[in-house]
Amino acid sequence: MANTYIYSIGKRKTSSAQVRVVEGKGESTINGVKASEYIKRTDLFDVVFTPLKLCKLKDTMYFEAEVMGSGPSAQAQAIRHGLSRAIAGKDEGFKAILKQAGLLTRDARKVERKKPGKHKARKSMQWSKR
């Protein structure tokens, strides 16, 4: 018998995470590895589990995430976004809590592209009057 799950996608910068939230006791995994092993930094560990802690679901739910792209920080935030969306889809009460905390909003900031005739995205050539 397969467990039923809630599926959602979270994004941040160029990172995207496919998250499946399952009710019951279990080990949360990221890319097939335990979350505690995949996430090395404790601050990022807190970022990932924020939605579960806010809704007091840490002991009653676990998740499986497939994440790719960008770096560790953006990946953690993409997982958090996907997790928040999945939990919000489960219950309206949770949606209000997560919306209040600002976890359902997709952070659209990305690296600006380099423009022709410039050193970087906005840095121009040095200009001298004489």
Which parts of 22-115 fold into alpha helices (H)?
35-38, 42-54, 72-90, 92-101
Once rounded to an integer, what is the mean pLDDT over residues 63-82?
A: 96
Predicted local distance difference test score (pLDDT) of residue 3: 75
pLDDT digits (tens, 9 = 90+) for 83-114: 999 999 988 899 999 999 999 999 999 999 99
Tally Cβ neighbours within 10 Å of residue 106.
10
Helices (H) and strands (E) in the chain, counts: 4, 5
- For the whole model, what pTM was predicted? 0.90
Residue extents of the structural domains in the chain = 5-101
Distance CA 39, CA 44 (A): 7
Please give the pLDDT value at position 2: 59
Return the structure tokens found at 115. 């423009």
Average pLDDT of the residues of the chain: 94
pLDDT 10s digits, 2-55: 578 999 999 999 999 999 999 999 999 999 999 999 999 999 999 999 999 999
Residues 6+ away with beta carbon under 8 Å from 54 = 97, 98, 101, 103
For residue 120, what are its two tokens?
């970087």
| Second-level CATH architecture of 5-101 | 2-Layer Sandwich (3.30)
Tokens of 17: 């995470």
Q: Which two tokens stand for residue 128?
A: 């001298």
